[in-house]
Amino acid sequence: MNDNYLWDRTGEPDREIQQLEDVLGELRYQPRPLHLPQNFSKRRRTLVPALAIAATLLLAVAIGLWLNLNRRWNQPPLRQAAGSPPEPGSPTPKSTTQQNQTVTVHDTQKPKQSERRQLMARSVSNTKRLHRTVQPALTAEELAQKEQVVMALRMVSAKLNLAQRKSVGVPQTNIIRNQHKVG
Amino acid sequence: MIEAEATAEMLLMSQPFRSPEKIEEPIEVTLVRDVLAGETDQFARLYEIYAPLVHGVLLARVPRDEVDDLVQDIFLHALRKLHTLRDAKSFGPWVAMIARNRAMDFHRSSRETVEVTEQIAVAKTPNKTAREVLGLIRSLPEAYRETLVLRFVEGMTGPEIALRTGLTPASVRVNLHRGVKLLRERMGLSVPPAVAGG
């Protein structure tokens, strides 16, 4: 058998292969036109999915921007929150600490001297934290009230814990387990 | 005169370098792109080029009377699903795979009908020799029958079969050799001597 003729019809023709070609060639494909149905319409690549995705992204960005701006607009300025807008001729504070002091000190209803000092010291010590979680809407009085509420909650919590211990009793294991809190 | 020659040489040298072997885009890539761009008429050329391949793939698996209609169905299906084809260069292997799957579906859905139709068709045909040889080829393992049909029925060469089906040339060569060897063995038992080469 001539391998080349079987492979690509080069070289000396192989008689058996030629006979196979002759016999089976009768079954060869007879060209016929491709009949497309009348109602056939090629599905074009639609841009609908891409547009939908783009619209969703735009909407999400727009909502995010709107919320951000809305929050900023609703947020009162630092001085306005303190309750005493600066006068046009008043000198501006030089440092952040001074600004903070201004925030906490200026108040419509001026607290007592001791309370003011206490609040000022607290605000100065927590300058960074206050800057990070700025709550300019709270006035000095409100801050004091907040501290009182927190203190009251702590006391109530301690009393409740005491009552629970008295009513349930303190198992030995609990003491051992909670030693780290005590120590 | 000398200046003119020098200028001509400079002009020649200033032209961009062109590779002597220009890499041309395969025709199916261009056609697929055109069809996807909306020129559905270009699909007729793809059909002309690849119809023999699909015909051969089907002929190795389903009765001949069903082949022509199936070829049309497969190309209509291919036209509808052309946007799912990732690589336009693989149009041949892709449409051949559609044809193989369609042949399997055909046997699943109408196995009994196929057998009856085959018998009737063989009885009616004046020249039984071609059908008998085709029947022998169909009795060969699947790996060989498609390659043999494409080679002997559709008249493709080994490299063409490799190019259209996506098989490696080595695989096609092996399939051809082993398939012909098996076919000869079977023809020696049941095929007229003229076909068997005697």
Judged by CB atoms closer than 8 Å, whether chains meet at B133 and A23 is answered as yes
Is there a domain that residue A15 lies in? no
The predicted-structure confidence for B49-84, as pLDDT tens digits, reads as follows: 999 999 999 999 999 889 999 999 999 999 999 999
Task: Measure B111 CA to nearest chain A CA, in Å.
Answer: 22
- Angle subtended at Cα A63 by Cα A62 and Cα A67, rounded to the nearest 5 degrees: 120
B29 and B103 in a common domain: yes
Tens-digit pLDDT profile for residues B21-43? 556 778 889 999 998 888 888 88
pLDDT score, position B198: 35
Picking from A129, A121, A87, the residue whose alpha carbon sits closest to that of residue A104 is A121
Q: Flag whether B117 is in a domain.
A: no
Note the ipTM here: 0.72
Counting one residue from chain A and one from chain B, the pairs whose CB atoms sit within 8 A come to 92
Higher pLDDT, B41 or B164: B164
Both B94 and B69 in a single domain? yes
Residue B99 has pLDDT above 90, yes or no: yes
Q: Is residue A82 part of a domain?
A: no
**Quick one: DSSP state of residue A33?**
-
Sign of the dihedral through C-alpha A136, A141, A145, A151: positive
Nearest Cα residue in chain A from B129: A23
CATH code assigned at B37: 1.10.1740.10
Domain membership flag for residue A2 = no
3-state helix, strand, coil in chain B (%, to 5): 80, 0, 20
Q: Confirm whether B193 is domain-assigned.
A: yes
What domain range is B142 assigned to? Answer: 125-198
Domain count, chain A: 1
Given a contact cutoff of 8 angstroms between Cβ atoms, the answer to whether B179 and B148 are in contact is: yes
Residue A85 identity (one-letter amino acid): P
- A129 falls within a domain: yes
Out of B51, B82, B110, pick the residue that ends a domain.
Answer: B110
The residue in chain A having the minimum alpha-carbon distance to the alpha carbon of residue B83 is A45
Range of the domain at A143: 100-169
Q: Are residues B197 and B129 in the same domain?
A: yes
Q: Are residues B139 and B66 in the same domain?
A: no
Residues B32, B105 share a domain? yes
pLDDT at residue B88 tops 70? yes
Residue B151 domain-assigned?
yes
Tell me which residue of A41, A29, A15, A30 sits closest to B38, measured CA to CA. Answer: A41
Average pLDDT over every residue of A93-102: 48
pLDDT at res. B12: 47
Structure pTM? Answer: 0.54
Taking CB atoms and an 8 Å cutoff, what residues of chain B touch A27? 59, 64, 130-131, 134, 153
B157/A28 touch (CB, cutoff 8 Å), yes or no = no
